[in-house]
């Protein structure tokens, strides 16, 4: 299998995991359960492994400059700086856009949870307003301050 095909699968896997984790976080929130911290930790670890593997297989980085997994903890400690440096050195400004896309993948579950929270709060507010409005009515026609026919 060619390195570009492998790289494509890393990206497909990363996007799929981001979508699944985001959906799981939103589903848990709408069912009244807080998404667990372990879910987000596991997501971050898997995404880091996928991104580091994706960086290692980058064909534009010369073999002498490619990182090795023999570096162990050094890769994990310097990961954010290492990823930005490698992408900039291999792809110049296009590499910075790729890094921003990767940051978006890392932030996807948090963004999905924030959107689910906002939608849930808005729905709750609309429900409370409609129930308050329905209980205020005296039963006389014309008493309602709402627009009829909409």
Residue 101, domain extent:
3-62+69-121
Which tokens sit at 77?
Answer: 């400690």
User: Does 133 map to a domain?
Assistant: no
Q: What is the pLDDT of residue 144?
A: 47
Would you say 87 and 99 are in contact if contact means Cβ atoms under 8 Å apart? yes
Q: How many domains does the chain have?
A: 1
Closest CA to 22 of 39, 6, 10: 39
pTM of the model: 0.63
- Mean of the per-residue pLDDT values of the chain: 77
Place of tokens 């596991």: 42
Specify if 76 maps to a domain.
yes
Q: pLDDT, tens digit, for every residue of 96-130?
A: 888 888 888 888 898 988 998 898 888 888 888 88
- Is residue 102 situated within a structural domain? yes
């Amino acid at each position: 299998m060619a390195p570009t095909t492998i790289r494509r699968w890393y990206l497909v896997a990363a996007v799929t995991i981001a979508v699944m984790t985001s959906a799981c976080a939103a589903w848990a929130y709408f069912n009244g359960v807080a998404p667990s911290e372990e879910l987000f930790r596991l997501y971050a670890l898997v995404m880091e492994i996928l991104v580091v593997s994706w960086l290692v297989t980058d064909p534009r980085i010369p073999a002498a400059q490619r990182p090795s997994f023999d570096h162990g903890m050094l890769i994990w400690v310097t990961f954010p700086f290492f990823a930005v440096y490698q992408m900039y050195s291999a792809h110049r400004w296009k590499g910075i856009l790729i890094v921003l896309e990767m940051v978006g993948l890392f932030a996807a579950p948090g963004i999905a949870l924030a959107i689910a929270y906002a939608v849930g709060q808005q729905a709750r507010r609309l429900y409370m307003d409609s129930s308050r409005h329905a209980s205020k009515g005296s039963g006389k026609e014309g008493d309602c301050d709402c627009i009829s026919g909409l």
